[in-house]
Structure 1
Amino acid sequence: MTRTPTILATSGGFAYDARENLRPAGLARLALQLTEAERPKLCFVPTASGDSTLYVQRTYAAFAGWSVDVSHLSLFPMPNVEDIRAHVLAQDVLWVGGGSVAGLLAMWRLHGLDDVMREAWEAGVVLAGVSAGSICWHVGGPTDSFGPQLRAVTDGLALLPYGNGVHYDSEEQRRPLLHRMVASGELPTSFATDDGAGVLYRGTEPAGVFTERDGAGGYLVEASGGEAKETALPAERL
């Protein structure tokens, strides 16, 4: 069955329990539900963290006991699967972890994964992720990939024709930089998420904002008269 191209771009998805174990939260659960599969196949893509072994291990452990078939795709020091394209296209959902979006984009292009991701999206594989795993699907957005002073990245995959802001309520440089980028035209109209919020896109159209935390929200940022205009969007609590 052909599914509508779907992206869930978030600033959340997982949380730590009282024992510091990683657990799927509302947005990760939503990504699985969007597949409509009885036992979804989820591939974790940790490129942005340099394929952190700990991040991979914690993600596998997070789904222990769940009705989910989990795999991962690492690119360092070499791909961990024989055929990247075949592995990606066999999934129901791809969850892309956080870290350096600039590094992620460089490595994906080096391995041709940028084209594979587009093919997967067009085939109906649910593309999802947090932070760098949110910005990557867009034209670009503010990033700390280059240091503690945030800079712009504008060479995202652009599956979605918008800019993207993440961690909007928890990192003070994010909102003003996104506003400047949109106002100047460096980024197009953009969508932003507080920690614990995500924007769902069907095709290239936003289809809703979802939150896993009380008080979290999503925002539309548009250029208006040389300035940025921000609008809070209706959100559904998961």
Structure 2
Amino acid sequence: MTTEQPTILATSGGIRPGARTRWEFSELTDLAVDLAGISGRAPKVCFLGTAGGDDSAYVSFFYEAAVAAGFAPSHVAVLSMPNVADITEHLLAQDVVWVGGGSVAGLLALWRLHGVDQAMRAAWEAGVVLTGVSAGSICWHVGGTTDSFGPDLRVVSDGLALLPFSNGVHYDSEEQRRPKFQAAIASGELPAGYATDDGVGLLYRGTELVEAVSESDGKGAYEVRRGEDGQAVETPLDVRRL
């Protein structure tokens, strides 16, 4: 099955240290898989670790966690060459696509070079659930703040723009995130958007935000827009605890 509407769960979470594996999937990833509506077989979940340089250890951590969770795992890598003959065909055969964190600027450049951007749009339009953490959250939006270029955050504004908003991740755990995100929206460098504390996700149906959800207590999500006075206006959103 695929979802009836294009579905994205953009998160600052979804994994945690595992008891017997390096990673284990947490409630946000469980929700993404549930959204695919699979029954009677293992859900097919595909990992893209482009933002982490397609590191083999990163891929191994995903497979261990996926097998432990009862998923049918696969992955798409583009370095040093694509590991599948037809990326679009592979993504369209999945129930969920899970994108890892790292360099969102590098991810976007490599995706465009290899046509993954177009493959992702095709999968999204077909109802494959798109999810991920950090870079794997910003990428679906117009842009956001990133450490892709160094420890001082910069703005990336050439995201896939499946969603017409900006996105802020790790909003409560990295001190530069909130002021940099707000400043970029106030200046018009980024459009209005949504930000998540660690452990929080944003569920979109089509291009509409449906709800904010959390796998951790006391965590928030926020709408940030440019006010009439040219300053950023931050509004907390209701967050449903998973």
Q: TM-score, normalised by structure 2?
A: 0.96
1:52 deviation in Å? 1.1
**Unaligned segments of structure 2, at least 5 residues:** none
Q: TM-score, normalised by structure 1?
A: 0.97
Match of 1:206 among 184, 205, 209: 209
Q: Is 1:121 matched up with 2:121?
A: no
SS in 2 for 1:129: strand
Number of aligned residues: 238
- In 1, the alpha carbon distance for the partners of 2:157 and 2:169 equals 15
Which residue of 1 is the match for residue 160 of structure 2?
A: 157
SS in 2 for 1:29: helix
Q: Is 1:233 matched up with 2:234?
A: no
Which residue of 1 is the match for residue 53 of structure 2?
A: 50
* 2:21–2:64 contact (8 Å) kept in structure 1: no
1:98 deviation in Å? 0.1
Which residue of 1 is the match for residue 63 of structure 2?
A: 60
- In the TM superposition, structure 1's runs of 4+ consecutive aligned residues that sit over 3 Å from their partners are 17-20
Which residue of 2 is the match for residue 75 of structure 1?
A: 78
Which residue of 2 is the match for residue 11 of structure 1?
A: 12
* 2:10–2:201 contact (8 Å) kept in structure 1: yes
* 2:21–2:61 contact (8 Å) kept in structure 1: no
1:64 deviation in Å? 2.3
- In 2, the alpha carbon distance for the partners of 1:211 and 1:229 equals 22
Which residue of 2 is the match for residue 100 of structure 1?
A: 103
SS in 1 for 2:182: helix
Q: Is 1:166 matched up with 2:174?
A: no
Question: Identity across aligned pairs (percent)?
Answer: 61
Q: Give the superposed CA RMSD.
A: 1.2
SS in 2 for 1:82: coil
- In 2, the alpha carbon distance for the partners of 1:184 and 1:28 equals 34
* 2:25–2:69 contact (8 Å) kept in structure 1: no
Which residue of 1 is the match for residue 221 of structure 2?
A: 218
- In 2, the alpha carbon distance for the partners of 1:223 and 1:97 equals 30
